[in-house]
Chain A
Amino acid sequence: MSSADLSLEHHEFGEYVRRWLAENAPPPPPERLPITPIEVMTIGQRDYLQAWQRKCYDAGLVGADYPKDYGGHGNIGFQRIANQEMNRAGVPFLINIVGLSMAAPTILQHGTEEQKRKFIPGCLSGEEIWCQGFSEPGAGSDLANQRTSAVRLGDEWIVNGHKVWTSLGHFAKWMILVTRTSKDDKYNGLTYFLCPIEGHPGVTVRPLVKITGETGFNEVFFQDVRIPDAYRLDDVGKGWAVAMTTLLAERGASEGAGSGGGGGESAIRDLIALARGTWRNGLLAADDPVTRDAIMKRAIVAEGLRQNAKRARVPALCDHPMRLPLQQKLTGSEFQQDNARLGVEIAGAHSTLYKRDPRAPQAGHWPLAFLNSYGNTIAAGTNEIQRNILGERVLGLPKSK
């Protein structure tokens, strides 16, 4: 296939996705949706979002570039287009974020043929929700400091320990789990498993309450939990390397199996709408020069993020191949946080009104989004750790540890 054919095909796919999204926009949710998939709390939210992912998957918008043997649609370069269009359309997000952006890419790279066939299709369709078992009370930014142990017993492993900040844990069928299989070596003593969660003996999922007053995160306790050796991903002692694959996928180094929806694109429109409807010093906030300047700063960052994603695919305009991909988690999470902070500022006195107040602007979205934004600036390696990674791996500065 020539590159001209390829781009024509991509162009047509983009048209198809736009049309499909216009014609298949989902009905309004039965209850308020959380801002991101890591905060899904209720069964009603779950069912609605799971049905939406299934529909997107069936239409070819999710798993677009995954091999057909593993439940994908077998295309090349389609996922990025689908992600962009889902973002632009402002449709709901895909609930199985851990399955799509972490489990599937990791299993694709490290899994056996059997594992790929067994696990990847459920990630893509959203039928099997995944959660991530990396963080522990003593292993946050220092991820390799894992205590949860796995001890081999014949064809099984016995797991004991405690994981925290487990988004979607209360709905998850599976967990990507990092365990300690040897105390002799901090990094080479780790092993990676695909661990059953829902209804599995010895597993206890307990909700954590966030600063918003909401749940969504969990603690997961393992007491003599048995995992078949067939669910071990890659070799014993290779857990750190496998976990790095997961984190790289999560930090956006690949297109993933599908993402999008939930609307970064609409953030600026929302801020402008808020400013048009809020008074400030006797003027509409939309006429206040300082507010206008602040919103335009956000608009520039929004466009910058889109154009960064585009430039990352033009090697001639990238001095270091990982320079832009490794920024995504940092810049994306701070973008959301800064937007929310500005929304609170613009809303002024009204920003004091929270979710249940009938007169709260956008049903209390701004303070809720601002409080919640710290989840993403902390999770997946705090942004301080992200800055260490960028400083060390991209700029080549001396390591902080």
Chain B
Amino acid sequence: MSTTKTALRDFGFGQDEAMLRDMARKMLAERLPMERLRTLVAAAPEPVYDKGERPPWDEQLWAEIVALGWTGLAVGEAEGGSNISLVGIAGIVEEVGRHALPSPLIPTLMASLVLRAAGGDVACEILKRIAGGATASLAVTNDRGSWEPEDAPLVASEQGGDLVLHGEARFVQDAFKANILVGSAKLGDKLVLWAAKTNADGLSLQADHIHDLTRDQASVHFNGVRLGADSIVSRDGAEILKTAWPSLLVLVSADLCGASERLLQTTVDYAKERVQFDRPIGFFQAVKHPLVNAMVEIDRARSLLYHAAAEIVAGSGRAEIAAHMAKSAASDAAAFISDRAIQLHGGIGFTWEYGLHIYFKRNLHNQTLLGDGVHHRKKLADLLIGPVSTSPNLGRDPATS
């Protein structure tokens, strides 16, 4: 990424980015209208919630998305990708969120961004496969659910030139849809970044039983998974994850913004049609005003989203601050409109059949993914106010180090 200091004009969102976004919107509106989404992921609650099956997804649609080159959006041209800027990607991911698309797209983009931050031959080879349609996901979260880039879930040891991985990576997004995992492991006092195929020997996936119907999630067990030099992405993993982290926050924020705007519009439409006391309920200020408040929050989140993406693209020193702000605002805006959407729809919104819950749950999942609003404001306070100075009780738990 370049290191220019100048702010991007219009957040770097120009005609090309708008065209891509509009194309994504049109395609997803045609291929995944609300009714199709509902019958796809929420035909009945039993398979997923009672029988423990993984939520279904549309593999045919995914094949078309791969054919459009979306897995390679964040991959450089030299590796066969389309090298779209993070600002342009944010536009597409907003549409993905708007349509609550079940797919490995976002995890694949996340893995791509980490690999790009790493650079080097190993990363480039994997990026080529991703641009060619391979799917990927990150395995960087430990059993504590820590969102600290330096808290690796696995322990690595060196045997010959190989790396042997042990442990359990938790909360791996869409792991059952991924061909490749990119993750972190502790190697002595360093953090090593590795890549492994999900069908590697010694690696096993165990599905988490989750409420969100638009993804799968797994705990991934590493029982002596042996990786050669062609799978070691970097031995300076902490620095790379820290560099890539703000762009990962942008992706989840974009999904939240898109889904939240959809919930707002859906609820506004309902408030115009639903008549009680001889008037459409949107006439009443108890309905109208919260919807305006939700709009204000979504707009704030959306402006901060594009600000963060633009700062990252420009290599600005404020990128980290901007990304924490974006994710905090997006998580909170999503929580608010999700809440009001169900409440203002009244009884119908509470039913399985109506399908609002699909968005509610996707948002609820994304709100906490990579840290909720409180988490990011804590990070932000450390940057803007400075670290807490006089409170030993708030220091790190000695057990983690």
| Chain A residues in the interface with B (C-beta under 8 A) | 7, 268, 272, 275-276, 283-284, 286-287, 289, 292-293, 295-297, 299-301, 303-305, 307-308, 310-311, 313-314, 316-317, 319, 323-324, 327, 330-331, 384, 387-388, 390-392, 394-400
**Cβ-defined contact, A295 with B381, below 8 A:** yes
B378 at the binding interface (Cβ < 8 Å): yes
**Known contacts A275-B385, A296-B380: does B303 contact A398 (CB below 8 Å)?**
no
Interface residues of B in 301-325 (CB under 8 A from A): 301-304, 306-307, 322, 325
Stretch of B63-71, B144-152, B287-295 on the interface side = B287-295
B44 at the binding interface (Cβ < 8 Å): no
| Chain B residues in the interface with A (C-beta under 8 A) | 9-11, 13-15, 17-18, 21, 261, 268, 271-272, 279-280, 282-283, 285, 287-289, 291-293, 295-296, 299-304, 306-307, 322, 325, 328-329, 374, 377-378, 380-381, 384-386, 388-391, 394
Which residues of B sit under 8 angstroms from A304, Cβ to Cβ?
299-301, 303-304, 325, 329
Which residues of A sit under 8 angstroms from B9, Cβ to Cβ?
7
**Cβ-defined contact, B11 with A400, below 8 A:** no
Contact of A395 among B10, B279, B295 (CB under 8 A): B295
Contact of A289 among B283, B378, B389 (CB under 8 A): B378
Q: Which of A299, A307, A323 gathers most chain B CB within 10 Å? A: A307
**Cβ-defined contact, B303 with A307, below 8 A:** yes
**Cβ-defined contact, A311 with B295, below 8 A:** no
Can you name 20 A-B pairs with beta carbons within 8 Å? Answer: A268-B384, A272-B385, A286-B386, A293-B381, A296-B328, A296-B377, A296-B378, A303-B304, A303-B325, A304-B301, A311-B299, A311-B303, A323-B295, A323-B299, A384-B285, A387-B289, A391-B288, A395-B268, A396-B272, A400-B288
Q: In the complex, what distance in Å separates the CA atom of A153 from the CA atom of B284?
A: 45
The secondary-structure label for the interface of chain A is: helix
Q: In the complex, what distance in Å separates the CA atom of A80 from the CA atom of B171?
A: 46
Which residues of A sit under 8 angstroms from B21, Cβ to Cβ?
316
**Cβ-defined contact, A293 with B378, below 8 A:** yes
For residue B208, give the distance in angstroms from its CB to the closest CB of chain A: 29
Of all chain A residues, the one with the shortest Cβ separation from B19 is A316
Contact of A397 among B13, B268, B389 (CB under 8 A): B268
The secondary-structure label for the interface of chain B is: helix
**Cβ-defined contact, A314 with B377, below 8 A:** no
For residue A216, give the distance in angstroms from its CB to the closest CB of chain B: 28
**Cβ-defined contact, A283 with B391, below 8 A:** yes
**Cβ-defined contact, B390 with A284, below 8 A:** yes
Which residues of A sit under 8 angstroms from B306, Cβ to Cβ?
307, 311, 314, 317
Which residues of A sit under 8 angstroms from B10, Cβ to Cβ?
313-314, 316-317
Which residues of B sit under 8 angstroms from A292, Cβ to Cβ?
377-378, 381, 385, 388
**Cβ-defined contact, B329 with A300, below 8 A:** yes
Contact of A310 among B11, B14, B300 (CB under 8 A): B11
3 closest residue pairs by CB, A with B? A304-B300, A307-B303, A397-B282
Which residues of A sit under 8 angstroms from B287, Cβ to Cβ?
397
Which residues of B sit under 8 angstroms from A395, Cβ to Cβ?
268, 282, 288, 291-292, 295
Which residues of A sit under 8 angstroms from B272, Cβ to Cβ?
396-398
Which residues of B sit under 8 angstroms from A316, Cβ to Cβ?
10, 13-15, 17-18, 21
**Cβ-defined contact, A300 with B285, below 8 A:** no
**Cβ-defined contact, A307 with B304, below 8 A:** yes
**Cβ-defined contact, B300 with A283, below 8 A:** no
Which residues of A sit under 8 angstroms from B279, Cβ to Cβ?
398
Q: In the complex, what distance in Å separates the CA atom of A292 from the CA atom of B282?
A: 37
Q: In the complex, what distance in Å separates the CA atom of A34 from the CA atom of B116?
A: 52
Q: In the complex, what distance in Å separates the CA atom of A287 from the CA atom of B391?
A: 7
Q: In the complex, what distance in Å separates the CA atom of A323 from the CA atom of B300?
A: 12
Q: In the complex, what distance in Å separates the CA atom of A237 from the CA atom of B306?
A: 45
